[in-house]
Amino acid sequence: MSLKESQKNTFLLVAFLFLLATSFAIEFSKQKQISTKKTIDFWHYWSGVEKEPLEKLIDKFNKENHGFKVNLLAISMPRKKILTAIIGNVAPDLVHIDNDMASDFALRHALAAINMEDFPKEKFTPIFLEALNFKQKQFAMPYLCGSEAMHYNETIFKELNLKAPESLEDIEQAFSISLSQKDFPIFLPSWPSWFAEVLPLYFGGDWVDNKGQISANSQANIEAWQWIEKNFIEKIPEEKILSFTEGFGAYQSPDNPFYSQKIALELNGIWEQNLAKNYAPDLKIAVKAFPGKIKNATLVRIDALAIPKNAKNKKEAQILLNWLLQKENLEFIALEQKKFTAYKTHSNNFFAKHENPYIKTFIELAQSKNAKFFPKLSFANRYKKEIRNAYDQMIRKQKTAKQALDELQEKVLATVNKRKSEFKVKF
């Protein structure tokens, strides 16, 4: 081999090694960037079929170039775990909560205010923003929404030659007819478990008045419970009261009295059609506004997103929040979970693909001027338990409607007096 050829081979070898080293350096640099890319934590409490669409969305987000990744974690006992993490200064960056938790956390100064620059208020149904707003600041954003309406079993109504109820009197008549022809009445005032807290809305009542004062024993609330007392409880044979109030299994089971067709009318939420498909696929359910003295009244419920006050990555959490609330992504998960969004309008594609045939009914109810949410209180869960306990005493004929609500008023006011510092916020 000549000197010239030797020099040529040496040059080629050096060039090859240089290119190889450069390639390794570039690849190492990429790997380093990936390994050091920021990761933020997002806690939620959905499971099963509700969990899957959120996982798909986060996978989609992580495949896009946002400069950080999201670690999605499903948790149990969300109220306790989120609050504990915030107190311990190990809070996640974004959390999934409901509107009751939002009240509790915001009143405890545990949430950061949301930057509303990317969320024009005129695009949202007002009640959903209002439910998550405290002291004129938005501390959570509505993610998925639901409302409640009357559900009735079309098959049983036809068997009894009954029309769909248009008034409270129609429900009373249907109850009396079914009580004489069936082992169970067509309507049970003890079902579902939260019926007691929703019923007053249809009589113009609520659990806190417009001045922010506890109003458990308001005249409208008493009237609502007396309607149950006089038209249903007094007509149920004494020996059957306990079987009517205790004779059922878990809500999400075939023993649910509505799924097992022991009753044929209930007040329930947008999720009911989806659950019924699992436990009673042959059930023919129709939906309309629950008839009451207040037209198109309903209770709205909200799955919300919030940023803990001491989250370490607030900027990135806001970016993720904005992305999740983009209409395309929001409608995707709303369709998958059979719910709707907080936006005033939905796309034609949304309505065409939605599996709930009464989706427009639920949205119209949520947008009604008579739609309400459970009052913004730091002890909302405690209040609800006391409401149900008081109602149960009336159902069992241990107290009259007025006695039960008067005692409830005293109990809740006692709770307020113990927590006055949490009642400085005016709603």
pLDDT in tens, 55-78: 999 999 999 999 999 999 999 999
So what's the pLDDT on residue 13? 47
* pLDDT 10s digits, 45-58: 998 888 999 999 99
From the list 233, 285, 230, 235, the residue with the least C-alpha distance to 256 is: 285
Is domain 38-146+301-356 given the CATH code 3.30.300.30 in the classification? no
Mean pLDDT within 190-211 = 94
So what's the pLDDT on residue 23? 47
* pLDDT tier at 181, thresholds 50, 70, 90: confident
Q: Which residue has the tokens 């609050």?
A: 83
Identify the helix (H) or strand (E) that includes residue 137. strand 137-138
Helix (H/G/I), strand (E/B), else coil: 339: coil
So what's the pLDDT on residue 147? 97
So what's the pLDDT on residue 20? 39
Return mean pLDDT, the chain.
88
Strand partners for 44: 74
* pLDDT 10s digits, 114-134: 999 989 999 999 999 999 999
Locate CATH 3.40.190.10 in the chain.
Answer: 38-146+301-356, 148-299+374-423
Residues in Cβ contact with 361 at an 8 Å cutoff, skipping those fewer than 6 apart: 149, 287, 288, 289
Is the predicted pLDDT of residue 425 greater than 60, yes or no?
no
Least confident range from 29-38, 163-172, 311-320: namely 29-38
* HSE, side-chain direction, 13 A CA sphere, residue 257: 24
Percent of the chain beyond pLDDT 90? 73
CA–CA separation, 84 vs 113, rounded Å? 20
CA–CA separation, 209 vs 205, rounded Å? 8
CA–CA separation, 271 vs 406, rounded Å? 33
Residues in Cβ contact with 228 at an 8 Å cutoff, skipping those fewer than 6 apart: 189, 199, 394, 395, 401
| Cis peptide bond N-terminal to 192, omega within 30 | yes
Residue 231 identity (one-letter amino acid) = N
Number of H helices, E strands in the chain: 17, 12
Count other Cβ atoms within 10 Å, centred on residue 397.
Answer: 13
* pLDDT 10s digits, 135-162: 899 999 999 999 999 999 999 999 999 9
Residues in Cβ contact with 272 at an 8 Å cutoff, skipping those fewer than 6 apart: 151, 258, 266, 285
> What's domain 148-299+374-423's superfamily in CATH?
Periplasmic binding protein-like II (3.40.190.10)
* pLDDT 10s digits, 258-285: 999 989 999 999 999 988 988 999 999 9
* pLDDT tier at 27, thresholds 50, 70, 90: very low
* HSE, side-chain direction, 13 A CA sphere, residue 281: 1
Q: What is the CA radius of gyration of the chain?
A: 28
Residues in Cβ contact with 55 at an 8 Å cutoff, skipping those fewer than 6 apart: 72
Give the pairing of strands 371-372 and 94-98: unpaired
Long-range contacts of 218-221 (CB under 8 A, 24+ apart): 221/405
Is the predicted pLDDT of residue 370 greater than 70, yes or no?
yes
Residues in Cβ contact with 242 at an 8 Å cutoff, skipping those fewer than 6 apart: 396
Prediction pTM value = 0.86
So what's the pLDDT on residue 37? 77
* pLDDT tier at 247, thresholds 50, 70, 90: low
Count other Cβ atoms within 10 Å, centred on residue 7.
Answer: 10
DSSP alpha helix (H) spans, 108-167: 126-130, 154-159
So what's the pLDDT on residue 239? 66
* pLDDT tier at 292, thresholds 50, 70, 90: very high
Is the predicted pLDDT of residue 10 greater than 60, yes or no?
no
CA–CA separation, 151 vs 132, rounded Å? 28
Is the predicted pLDDT of residue 373 greater than 80, yes or no?
yes
Percent of the chain beyond pLDDT 70? 87
State how far the alpha carbon of 215 is from the alpha carbons of 80, 194, 408, in Å.
28, 18, 10
Asked if residues 272 and 191 have their Cβ atoms less than 8 Å apart, the reply is no
So what's the pLDDT on residue 249? 66
Is the predicted pLDDT of residue 351 greater than 70, yes or no?
yes
Is the predicted pLDDT of residue 398 greater than 60, yes or no?
yes
Least confident range from 114-118, 139-143, 240-244, 419-423: namely 419-423
Is the predicted pLDDT of residue 203 greater than 70, yes or no?
yes
Least confident range from 23-27, 134-138, 282-286, 328-332: namely 23-27
